[in-house]
Amino acid sequence: MSIVELVRLALSRIGSSRLRAALTMLGVIIGVASVVALVAVGQGATSGITARLQGLGTNLLTVNPGSSTQGFTRGAAGTATSLTADDANAIAALNGVAAVEPEISSQQLVAAGSLNSTTSIVGTTADYATVRAFTIWQGSFLTPATVDAGVSVAVLGATTADDLGLGASAIGTQVTIGGLPFQVVGILQAKGSSGPFSQDDQVLIPMATARHYFVQGDTIRSIGVSVATPDQMDLVKAEIQTTLEQRHGIAAGGTDDFTITDQAQLLSTVSAVTTTLTILLAGIASISLVVGGIGIMNIMLVSVHERTREIGIRKAIGARGRDVLAQFLIEALTLSLLGGMVGIVLGVAVSALIGAVAGWGFVFNPITPLVAVLFSLLVGVVFGVWPARQAARLDPIVALRYE
Amino acid sequence: MTEPLVHLQHVSRVYEMGRLQVVALRDVDVAIQSGEFVAVLGPSGSGKSTLMHIVGCLDRPTSGQYTLAGTPVAALDDDRLAALRSRAIGFVFQSYNLLARTNALENVAAPLLYQGVSRRERYRRAGAALERLGLGDRVDHSPAELSGGQQQRVAIARALVTDPALILADEPTGNLASDQGAEVLSLFRELHSAGRTIVLITHDQEVAAAAGRQIHIRDGSIADGEIAA
């Protein structure tokens, strides 16, 4: 018997008991749909997080002060006041460093007309946009000239501008920061991040200006370093470490009073975590696929029992054991495959919906449905073989007598 | 003398039921020539069903030789036995044994499925077989939509569709009203006169009278030998 004949037989059988077939397939449908949807959710989350991290700046190294120690009490990381503008200049002079931006910051009230917002005021240099991968939406960024002159100009983050009711027409107008007048020269393109540490909610002003009005002393909060090419990351990181250790008088192998954070490292850690989560989700979803398979086996066993007489007749008129085996196996496979296809459509729809709600868009990986279909076929074979063997082994005499 | 189509020599069939041994057939010799119409007559429990199962290649003898159309059956495995059934035997059962929820045409075409005949050819031959039995207008009726006599004629069409060497009918009139039974028997006589070999198993003397020769079976043995009528 050819496969075509067997599939035709299976389809006509499924067609003659549609409700039962639909209920049997439901298990596989839910299983496949949840595998497809959850894997898509995992991959969507991964690509969303990765995109956001890459948005922080490519080839980025961040140097932060270490923890301060007062008496015997060690403070939190970043509390030390060990980094200076000279450190930033020394790093800028290293090989493989494309750009450097030192930052200092202060929380201040920003006001425009009747609207105001308390946000982070960052004093930095013209390289900030390059290192942190910001693009300007309106106006212009801080220029080396304005930074050196220490004039009162400000570049607003997208969220901050929004909060203050400022649009494209705000370029050239005045806002007050901590009660002092600043001229708005530019508004940044939004990066789309949100939450309390949003990169879109800040105001950038020249380093010297911030130092003059808001931040005392000569220490800096962090130094962002953009490395020329990705393969130089480790080299530059080592160079920065050596340079700063020398400048701070720390013996090699001693406790550093600064930390260097590698963007790529963070990225690979995050993607390792999300990959594990995706596998976990897929694993949990697979359980429902197995349960669906058991549903198919259950129905096929009932079906073999109900159709004992049919099996006897078929054997009497010339069906071999393997013909009966093939008939029941193909029937189970057809059920699981049909269920798998419906499941894929459902899963893709659900993942598109979740993607739209969560905001990472529609992530479609053609591998997932392929794997899901193969898996549902496997389920059909694994859970279809046993009932089919039961059918094939029936003694025709016993089967014909069966009522 | 040519080799008989159905040839049983010293055939015994013993069922093991736990520690009990039940002898259903004891040293049976039967020879049926091609073209004969033979009735196997015996009361229930006489072993005639066992004989039918062995002749029909649904079962194998415990001991003895059975040759069907020149093929020794004892040596065949289940698959070869099924292939032999498909090629050489057409069954007609007391309870028709049609596939439920399957129309007359599909029922008649079913044996050809296992011979690997193409779909078009299957339907052509099944349609022709139904036509011959006067059921040309019932091809798309399901068994439930047909009378007992019509169902049995569908079953006979199914038995004939593969053009088998032997038609094996087990109480074919047992479930039918007497007029429909008579119709079926006259159909068998027609087939016989057209050259078919038919073995009819029955407990009914009147039914057996339709055949050209009778083999009486009692307590697992041939009662009055294998006497040609």
Query: What CATH number is associated with residue B156?
Result: 3.40.50.300
Q: How many helices (H) and strands (E) does chain A have?
A: 13, 12
In terms of C-beta distances under 8 Å and separation of at least 24 residues, what long-range contacts does A295-299 make, across chains too?
A: A295/A24, A295/A26, A295/A27, A295/A28, A296/A24, A296/A27, A296/A28, A296/A332, A296/A335, A296/A336, A296/A379, A296/A380, A296/A383, A296/A384, A297/A332, A297/A383, A297/A384, A297/A386, A297/A387, A299/A20, A299/A24, A299/A335
Q: Can you give the pLDDT at residue B34?
A: 94
Q: Can you give the pLDDT at residue A215?
A: 85
Among A16, A318, A397, select the one facing B85 at the smallest CB separation.
Answer: A318
Q: Can you give the pLDDT at residue A185?
A: 92
Q: Categorize the per-residue pLDDT at B228 as very low, low, confident or very high, splitting at 50, 70 and 90.
A: very low
Q: Can you give the pLDDT at residue B115?
A: 92
Q: Can you give the pLDDT at residue B89?
A: 94
Closest to B89 (Cα-Cα) out of B59, B44, B56:
B56
* Distance of alpha carbon B57 from alpha carbon B167, whole angstroms: 12
Are A5 and B115 within 8 A, CB to CB?
Answer: no
Chain A residues in contact with B97 by the CB 8 A cut-off are: 309, 312-313, 316, 400
Residue A223, CA atoms < 13 Å, CB-side half-sphere = 29
Domain membership of residue B96 (yes or no) is yes
Chain A residues in contact with B171 by the CB 8 A cut-off are: none
Q: Can you give the pLDDT at residue A180?
A: 92
Domain membership of residue B2 (yes or no) is no
Tell me the pLDDT tens digit for each residue of A230-281: 788 888 988 998 898 888 888 777 778 888 888 777 777 887 888 888 888 8
Domain membership of residue B66 (yes or no) is no
**Separation in Å, CA A200 to CA A159, A162, A173, A190, A262:** 5, 10, 20, 6, 22
ipTM of the complex: 0.91
State the smallest CA–CA distance between residue B116 and chain A in angstroms: 6
pTM over 0.90: no
What value does the mean pLDDT of chain B take?
Answer: 90
Chain A residues in contact with B86 by the CB 8 A cut-off are: 317-319
Domain membership of residue B68 (yes or no) is no
Mutate to test the interface with B, among A5, A317, A323 (most CBs of B within 10 A): A317
Q: Can you give the pLDDT at residue B83?
A: 92
Choose between B31 and A40: higher pLDDT: B31
Q: Categorize the per-residue pLDDT at B229 as very low, low, confident or very high, splitting at 50, 70 and 90.
A: very low
* Distance of alpha carbon A82 from alpha carbon B189, whole angstroms: 115
Structural domain for B151, as ranges: 35-47+77-222
Pairing of strands B37-41, B197-202: parallel
* Distance of alpha carbon A36 from alpha carbon A354, whole angstroms: 12
* Distance of alpha carbon A260 from alpha carbon B46, whole angstroms: 98
Residue B64 and residue B11 in contact, taking contact as beta carbons nearer than 8 Å = yes
Are B82 and A318 within 8 A, CB to CB?
Answer: yes
| DSSP, residue by residue, A270-324 | HHHHHHHHHHHHHHHHHHHHHHHHHHHHHHHHHHHHHTHHHHHHHHHTT--HHHH
Residues 6+ apart with CB under 8 A from A331: A9, A10, A13, A14, A300, A303, A384
Are A309 and B97 within 8 A, CB to CB?
Answer: yes
State the smallest CA–CA distance between residue B176 and chain A in angstroms: 19
Are B86 and A318 within 8 A, CB to CB?
Answer: yes
Are B82 and A309 within 8 A, CB to CB?
Answer: no
Query: Residues of B at the A interface (Cβ-Cβ below 8 Å)?
Result: 53, 56, 58-59, 78-79, 82-83, 85-87, 91, 93, 97-101, 110-111, 113-116, 119, 158, 162
Are B56 and A316 within 8 A, CB to CB?
Answer: yes
How many domains does one find in chain B?
Answer: 1
Q: CA nearest B87 in A: which residue? A: A318
Mutate to test the interface with B, among A6, A12, A16, A313 (most CBs of B within 10 A): A313
Q: Can you give the pLDDT at residue A388?
A: 93
In order along chain A (403 residues), what is the average pLDDT of each group of 10 residues? 85 88 91 88 80 74 76 61 84 89 91 90 90 87 86 91 87 91 91 66 91 85 88 88 87 80 79 86 86 89 91 92 93 92 91 82 78 85 91 90 78
Mutate to test the interface with A, among B60, B85, B95, B103 (most CBs of A within 10 A): B85
